[in-house]
Amino acid sequence: MRFAGYAAIFDRVDRGGDVVRAGAFGGVRAAAVPLLWQHGPGQVIGSVERLEEDARGLRVIGRVSARTAAGREAAAGLKAGALDGLSFGYRVREARGAGPRELLALELVEVSLVTHPMQDGARVIAVE
């Protein structure tokens, strides 16, 4: 099952007090980023097919695999409309300030389908 959405929304404070700025993801490549379930490092549920920054944020196109129980659970949630949260794991390369902290350069480690995203607007917007 394929989906599209935003793992990050630019210029909005998240629940952790961070703001991701445009350009923070640099030239990230989809092939280097796993798709996880709820940020679980052992819960690879598919693949990230495309990543790109646009005016809104970090747009993601991913594919969920039914090969694992977690993948089947995620696909069922997406299909039913019960799951629509996206999130990402990262390492900070450059930040500024403390309240809110501006994230200027990030190393993207993973993208996750999640129940409760840190950024309220980080959501799946289409399922195929």
At 41-95, the pLDDT tens digits run: 999 999 999 999 999 999 999 999 999 999 999 999 999 999 999 999 999 999 9
Residue 31 tokens, joined: 């092939």
Q: What is the pLDDT of residues 69-80, one digit of tens each?
A: 999 999 999 999
Contact 105, 83 (CB under 8 A): no
DSSP 123: B
Domain ranges for the chain: 2-123
Q: 100: cis peptide before it, omega within 30°?
A: yes
Q: pTM value?
A: 0.94
